């Protein structure tokens, strides 16, 4: 995935902020230190975290919208309606042709349609006549 490293970076950023917040909270609890500055530092860290996360999601949203436009142009026919059997076969033949040109083994082997099965004769046993 092209974006996996971005998610990992945001994850590491948030982990680092969590570590910093834990440290500030420990300092805030220390009786020999004034807790006003540490409470402010905690609030600033959380504010900075939220700003970075929101910016990341906004940037990612813009990229996703661009990706949607790209995939709509490339494969728009696949999105509008479900494919019927013939459309699926046509697409698979295109894929198989591309694989053949790339000297890759086939994923699907197309066979000729089998003749329709004949309807078996009715072999229903006759019901015995009711005794009167």
Residue range 29-41, pLDDT digits in tens: 887 877 788 888 8
Q: How confident is the model at residue 106 (pLDDT cuts 50, 70, 90)?
A: confident
Residues 52 and 86 placed together within one structural domain of the fold: no
Residues 31 and 44 placed together within one structural domain of the fold: yes
Residue 17 exposed, middle or buried by CB count within 10 Å (0-12, 13-18, 19+): middle
Is 60 exceeded by the pLDDT of residue 70? yes
**Domain around 12:** 4-79
Residues 66 and 103 placed together within one structural domain of the fold: no
The mean predicted confidence, pLDDT, of the chain is 82
In a domain, 132, yes or no: no
The stretches of 30-107 forming alpha helices (DSSP H) are: 36-80, 85-101
Is 60 exceeded by the pLDDT of residue 96? yes
What is the pLDDT, as a whole number, of residue 56? 94
**Number of structural domains the chain divides into:** 2
Is 96:106 a contact under the CB 8 Å cutoff?
yes
In a domain, 126, yes or no: no
What is the pLDDT, as a whole number, of residue 77? 56
Q: How confident is the model at residue 124 (pLDDT cuts 50, 70, 90)?
A: low
Residues 40 and 8 placed together within one structural domain of the fold: yes
Is 28:35 a contact under the CB 8 Å cutoff?
yes
Regarding predicted confidence, which is higher, 1 or 122? 122
């Amino acid at each position: 995935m092209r974006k996996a490293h971005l998610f990992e970076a945001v994850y590491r950023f948030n982990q680092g902020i969590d570590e910093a917040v834990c440290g500030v909270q420990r300092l805030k609890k220390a009786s020999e230190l004034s807790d006003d500055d540490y409470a402010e530092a905690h609030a600033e860290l959380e504010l900075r975290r939220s700003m970075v996360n929101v910016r990341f999601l906004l940037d990612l949203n813009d990229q996703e919208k661009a990706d949607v436009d790209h995939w709509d142009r490339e494969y728009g026919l696949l999105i509008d309606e479900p494919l019927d059997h013939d459309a699926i076969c046509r697409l698979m033949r295109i894929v198989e042709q591309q694989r053949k040109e790339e000297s890759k083994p086939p994923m699907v082997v197309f066979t000729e349609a089998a003749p329709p099965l004949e309807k078996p004769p009715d072999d229903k046993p006759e019901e015995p006549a009711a005794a009167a």
